[in-house]
Amino acid sequence: LLWEDDLWIVMHKRPPCGVVGHLQLLSRRHFQGPSSFNDAEAASIGVALRRCERVLEKVTGCNRVYTAALGSPKSGGHFHAHMMPIYDDKPPTTVTGTPFDIFLQEKLAADGVDGAAADETECKRVAEAFRDGMAEDRV
């Protein structure tokens, strides 16, 4: 657990991880997606994502963060927003030549493809820096 409030929690993706700094913003309440947000969730999701992504950019030095929102029965009914740092000088494994390669990097790591997994020590370092950054950031 890297950060939490009344509605959301943030965790680093569990190993094997394909991207250092791949964070997940998870809903505390069980629901599938934005169409099921209550008013408080709808009002806070943008602020929470903005804050998390600003801190993630700061602690990783990435150029930008790709975000994908998911909700599925497989996730236990929790809404997930995946935040993945993108570096212009460290692109993911090129499969399609599109921005979706960052998400495919996670699949390659999960499938055990040699060299696809991110360095776990670096993942832990970024997670700790993010936790500290969120504690310091009072946006």
- pLDDT tens digits along 1-53: 999 999 999 999 988 899 999 999 999 998 888 889 999 999 999 999 999 99
pLDDT of 99 strictly over 80: no
pLDDT of 88 strictly over 90: no
What is the greatest pairwise CA distance in the chain? 45
With the C-alpha atoms ordered 113, 114, 116, 121, is the resulting torsion angle positive or negative?
positive
If you average pLDDT over residues 93-113, what whole number do you get?
83
pLDDT of 75 strictly over 60: no
**pTM exceeding the 0.85 threshold for the entire prediction:** yes
Note the pLDDT of residue 111: 94
Contacts of 2 (CB under 8 A, 6+ apart): 10, 11, 12, 23, 127, 130, 131, 134
Nearest-angstrom CA–CA distance, 75 and 14: 13
Lowest mean pLDDT among 11-15, 66-70, 91-95, 103-107: 91-95
pLDDT band at 97 (very low <50, low <70, confident <90, very high): confident
If you average pLDDT over residues 84-109, what whole number do you get?
80
Note the pLDDT of residue 82: 93
Nearest-angstrom CA–CA distance, 50 and 59: 14
